[in-house]
């Protein structure tokens, strides 16, 4: 199993990504290996969201078995926490927050700004 995980990690590293989005979870060894290489890993993404991001970047969604990866890029990726300004209160009396991911610099015809 460790050899399989190592080959997946090496395959990802060969593409030189800054961020990897996955639908489910990733083993702790792979998480730590990617972290050591400075690669951001986003876990538990819902498939419709992955499909939207893939459409906007012009990329494909890959399985771990894919060998020919054609990775697409965006100019800027950042995460922001937004506090909702409604009258309702979240857990512990605090206002509810949402975490949003921003992918900027994608081809305009493929998504919105």
Share of residues in the chain with pLDDT > 90 (%)? 19
Indicate the CATH number for domain 2-110.
3.50.7.10
First vs last C-alpha separation in the chain: 42
When the pLDDT of each residue in the chain is averaged and rounded to a whole number, the result is: 81
Domain positions in the chain are 2-110
User: What's this model's pTM, rounded to 2 decimal places?
Assistant: 0.73
Q: What are the strands, taking DSSP E only, across 8-95?
A: 19-21, 40-42, 76-83
pLDDT tens, position by position, 100-109? 988 888 777 7
Select the more confidently predicted residue: 102 or 84.
Answer: 102
Cross-strand partners of 100: 80
């Amino acid at each position: 199993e460790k050899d399989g995980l190592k080959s997946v990690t090496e395959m990802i590293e060969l593409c030189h990504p800054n961020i990897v989005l996955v639908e489910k979870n990733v083993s702790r060894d792979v998480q730590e290996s990617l972290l050591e290489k400075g690669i951001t890993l986003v876990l538990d993404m819902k498939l419709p969201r992955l499909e939207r991001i893939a459409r906007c970047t012009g990329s494909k969604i890959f399985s771990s078995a894919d060998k020919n990866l054609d990775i697409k890029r965006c100019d800027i990726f950042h995460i922001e926490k937004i506090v909702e300004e409604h009258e309702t209160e979240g857990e512990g009396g605090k206002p509810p927050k949402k975490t949003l991911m921003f992918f900027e610099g994608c081809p305009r015809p493929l998504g919105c700004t």
